[in-house]
Amino acid sequence: MAFPEGFEVPQDQGGPGRGQPIGGFGGDPSKSQDDHRDALQSVGKAPVILLHGNAGAADLGRWNMLDLQQMLIGTGYPRESLWAPSYLGTGTLDLQTPHINNVNEVREFIDNVCEYLNVAVVDIIAHSLGCSLAYAIFRGLRKPRQGTQVQFDDQLKRWNRVGTFVALAGGFHGLGPNAVGEWESDGPFVRGLLAEMAGGGGETPYGTNDPRTPDPAHNIRYFCGVARGDFIDNQKAGTGKLAGAINIDYDLGPADIGHEKIKESRVVFNDFLPHLNAVPPARRVAIVPDKVSGSHVAPLTITVHVEPSDRSVEYVARRVTKEFQNGFIVPRTSDEPSEGTLQNGQTLELSADGTWEVVFSAEGAADVERTYWVGVEPIKVAIVTDNSAPFEGSLDVVATTTRGTLYHTLKGDMWSEGSAVTITSDAAPQFIAIDSSDGIASGLVTKSFKIKLTPPRTVTATAVEHYVARRLSLNEFLAYGQQYGFTTQITLHLVNGRWVPAGAPAT
């Protein structure tokens, strides 16, 4: 468990961790509450709460949320803004009543993060069980004192707490006729979950074009990513979608493979990233340069407007060239950077020919970065390979450039020379072109590609995972679980449309 001093950690009120403080991670434990609040106001991004799924934990095991945390940090989110509870102890499976068992502590966690950071609205990125658990919290699910009766309470609703809701491989409509407990598609929990129509949005209350949430008033953005054919979608196709949300299918692999990859895929991340921060933590300072990135004649005069108009804007302007060295793209600064302060309506002049990278910043605003090709011909790069449909096997992704040498990367660190790169899985290749004669470089260009996967004919998993994926009937699940053990890895083969065991547990 890693939370900063002064953060109130909720007690686990149900399920496997009952009676203990919940685990997980949040913020930067080495920094104070004031440091956390200052970091949020400086970057101007809403905090993000990551909610793991069943049999998972925030920072442990296969179903952790650490990849999402690192991808967000890589796009400029400060560590102070990222939080994730572990509400199932160290990752115990809860099949019967996971929502009711854990609703209180997760609701308290969301409220406590808002209180600690002094914000009213957060973004939620959830995976698997975390999706329907978050949705139940928004709708006001109450944990009953006794039994498992499903109750929703207007006083417990948390629509006003969420700005963007990203749901990855969720099960909003249950898991079909063979499901147990709260996962029954026609059971009381799912019926209650989808019956509430407050906010005019049906399955996406207070969404786009609906009435705004109360206190603070805003609309919610909904993004649902479905791992098509994973062990959730395979039980009830489309259960991860919400009517009115941005719903996107991804072919990431069958069963547990796709279910894991959807929370770690850069392609999926790139799809939902632009929808985050729909409701910033406070009124943001707006910096608006009157010249967009691109080609301009010399000298270039840039007028900066700022709102509120009494704020000042700092700028750093560098004239740079780039070169390829031992797998790295290395920037070279031609002169000492130009630095200064501008008031609303004042101008900055770039007189020398070359590529200029300019960063405008102000307290309470996200940095504004611009690239200007002043008095020189810009280099344009385009990825010409079509990505409108998933590819099979492998794919050569090809780019073209107006001049210079092309380089490519798949992970954003090491680069290789060439106008084409071969991919065999979901990927988002990046290309850049550099003219070695003058060091002028293009901007980075990227495009996302998805692979079309064929379900395997052999799958190794536990009896529980086979049952959840509908490879085993209820009777088979009980029989194999008693014979081999419910948490022992068992290999099944697909024979004439039926999954049959290999005869012994996998080693």
Highest mean pLDDT: which range of 211-215, 460-464, 484-488: 211-215
Q: Per-residue pLDDT for 376 more than 60?
A: yes
Co-location of 84 and 140 in the same domain: yes
Instruction: Give the CATH number, domain containing residue 226.
Output: 3.40.50.1820
Is 296 a member of any domain? yes
Q: Which of 374, 405, 432 is the last residue of a domain?
A: 374
Q: What is the mean pLDDT of residues 112-127?
A: 96
| 451-475 per-position pLDDT tens digit | 887 666 788 888 877 877 778 876 7
Distance separating alpha carbons of residues 22 and 30, to the nearest angstrom = 20
Structural tokens at position 336 = 């000492």
Q: Based on the domain organization, do 417 and 440 belong to the same domain? A: yes
Let me know if residue 5 belongs to a domain: no
Residue-number span of the structural domain to which 84 is assigned:
15-275
Q: Are residues 387 and 366 in the same domain?
A: no
Q: For residue 186, what are the CA distances in angstroms to 11, 148, 213, 224, 233?
A: 31, 16, 29, 21, 16
One domain, residues 271 and 369: no
344 belongs to a structural domain: yes
Instruction: Tell me, yes or no, whether 39 and 101 share the same domain.
Output: yes
d(CA 253, CA 465): 15
Q: What is the CATH number of the domain that holds 292?
A: 2.60.40
Q: Does 452 map to a domain?
A: no
User: With 0-12 CB in 10 A as exposed, 13-18 as middle and 19+ as buried, what is 408?
Assistant: buried
SS3 call for 81: helix
Residue type, 401: T
Do 432 and 501 lie in a common domain? no
| Whether residue 413 sits in one domain with residue 290 | no
Asked if pLDDT for residue 442 goes beyond 60, the answer is yes
Task: Write down the pLDDT at residue 283.
Answer: 59
- Write down the pLDDT at residue 473: 77
3-state DSSP assignment of residue 74: helix
Tens digits of per-residue pLDDT, 357-370?
A: 999 988 766 678 89
Q: Is residue 225 a contact partner of residue 248, using CB atoms and an 8 Å limit? A: yes
- Answer yes or no: do 143 and 122 share one domain: yes
Assess whether pLDDT exceeds 60 at residue 506. no
Structure letter (DSSP) for residue 383: E
Q: What percent of the chain has pLDDT over 90?
A: 60
Among 275, 306, 340, give the residue marking a domain's end: 275
7 inside domain: no
| Within-domain flag for 431 | yes
Question: What pLDDT sits at residue 254?
Answer: 84
What pLDDT is attached to residue 95? 81
Helix 33-43 crosses helix 98-117 at what angle (to 10 degrees)? 80
- Token pair belonging to 389: 């449909």
Shared-domain flag, residues 196 and 341: no
- Determine the pLDDT at residue 289: 95
What is the predicted pLDDT for the residue at 137?
Answer: 97
Pick the more confident residue, 498 or 376: 376
Of 454 and 211, the structure prediction assigns the larger pLDDT to 211
Q: Is the pLDDT of residue 147 over 60?
A: no
pLDDT band, very low/low/confident/very high, at 20 (cuts 50, 70, 90): confident
Distance of alpha carbon 240 from alpha carbon 227, whole angstroms: 8
Here the tokens at position 507 are 């080693």
Over residues 309-314, the mean pLDDT reads 92
Evaluate if residue 478 carries a pLDDT over 80. Answer: no
Q: Are residues 203 and 265 in the same domain?
A: yes
- Kindly state the average pLDDT of the residues 381-401: 94
Is 142 found in the same domain as 232?
Answer: yes
The pTM (predicted TM-score) of the whole model is 0.66
Name the nearest CA neighbour of 397 among 445, 355, 327, 465: 445
- Six-digit token string for 101: 């068992």
Confidence of residue 44 (pLDDT cuts 50, 70, 90): confident
Last residue of a domain, one of 254, 275, 296: 275
pLDDT surpassing 70 at residue 240: yes
The answer to whether residue 180 is domain-embedded is: yes
490: pLDDT strictly greater than 50: yes
For residues 284 and 445, which has the higher predicted lDDT (pLDDT)?
A: 445
CA distance 9 to 68: 22
φ and ψ of 492, to 5 deg: -115, 145
pLDDT of 415 higher than 90: yes
Q: Which of 230, 270, 211, 254 is nearest to 53 (CA)?
A: 230
| pLDDT for res 214 | 84
Q: Using DSSP, state whether 128 is helix, strand or coil.
A: coil
Binning pLDDT at 50, 70 and 90, where does residue 504 land?
very low
Residue 310 phi/psi, 5° resolution?
-90, 0
Indicate if the pLDDT at residue 507 is higher than 70.
Answer: no
In this structure, is residue 482 part of a structural domain?
A: yes
> What letter represents residue 466's amino acid?
H
Radius of gyration of the chain (CA): 25
**Structure confidence by residue, pLDDT tens digits, 168-179:** 999 999 998 778
Stretch 212-229: mean pLDDT, rounded? 92
Total structural domains in the chain?
A: 4
Do 134 and 98 sit in the same domain of this protein? yes
